[in-house]
C-alpha cells in the first residue's frame, strides 16, 4: 500500500462513495473493505473532511485527521458537540488550501 496521504470527503464530496462500504458512520464505515482495496492505498493519517459530528467520529475511529467545515451542518455540529479533536474551517475551500499547503 502507498504511504501517500489522501483527502477523504463526506458522501457529498468529491470521492465516489461507492468506493467505501458506507452504511452508517462511524460504526459500520469500513475503509478496509472498500476504498483501500479499490484504490490500493492506506488511509490512516489521511484527512477526512466533513460537516457532521459523525464525520469527526469516523475520522478518529479510523485514525484519520478530522477537518470540520462550518458549511452545511458544521455550525450546528460546533454548537452541539465537542469538536476539540477536529480542525475547523470556514468552508471546503479553506480546508483544501490547508491540506495543500
Q: What is the residue whose three cell numbers read 477537518?
A: 67
Question: How far is it, in rounded angstroms, from Cα 56 to Cα 60?
Answer: 6
Q: Please list, in sequence order, all residues whose beta carbon lies within 8 angstroms of the beta carbon of residue 61, skipping any fewer than 6 positions away.
A: 26, 29
pLDDT in tens, 44-72: 888 889 899 988 988 888 888 999 999 99
Q: How confident is the model at residue 22 (pLDDT cuts 50, 70, 90)?
A: very low
What is the distance between the alpha carbons of residues 5 and 71, in angstroms, rounded to a whole number?
Answer: 24
Please give the residue that has the higher pLDDT: either 36 or 91: 91
3-state secondary structure of 86: coil
pTM for the whole structure: 0.71
pLDDT of residue 67: 94
Kindly tell me if the per-residue pLDDT of 31 is higher than 70. no
pLDDT band at 23 (very low <50, low <70, confident <90, very high): very low
Rounded to the nearest 5 degrees, what angle is found at the Cα of 38, between the Cα atoms of 3 and 8? Answer: 60
What pLDDT score does 91 carry? 93
Average the pLDDT over 35-45 and give the result: 73
Domains of the chain: 7-100 (3.40.50.1000)
Express each pLDDT in 67-101 by its tens digit.
999 999 999 999 999 999 999 999 999 998 998 88
Amino acid at each position: 500500500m502507498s504511504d501517500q496521504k489522501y483527502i477523504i470527503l463526506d458522501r457529498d464530496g468529491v470521492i465516489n462513495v461507492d468506493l467505501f462500504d458506507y452504511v452508517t458512520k462511524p460504526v459500520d464505515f469500513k475503509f478496509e473493505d472498500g476504498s483501500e482495496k479499490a484504490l490500493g492505498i492506506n488511509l490512516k493519517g489521511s484527512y477526512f473532511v466533513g460537516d457532521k459530528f459523525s464525520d469527526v467520529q469516523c475520522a478518529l475511529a479510523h485514525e484519520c485527521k478530522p477537518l470540520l467545515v462550518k458549511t452545511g451542518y458544521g455550525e450546528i455540529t460546533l454548537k452541539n458537540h465537542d469538536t476539540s479533536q477536529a480542525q475547523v474551517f470556514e468552508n471546503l475551500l479553506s480546508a483544501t488550501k490547508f491540506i495543500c499547503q
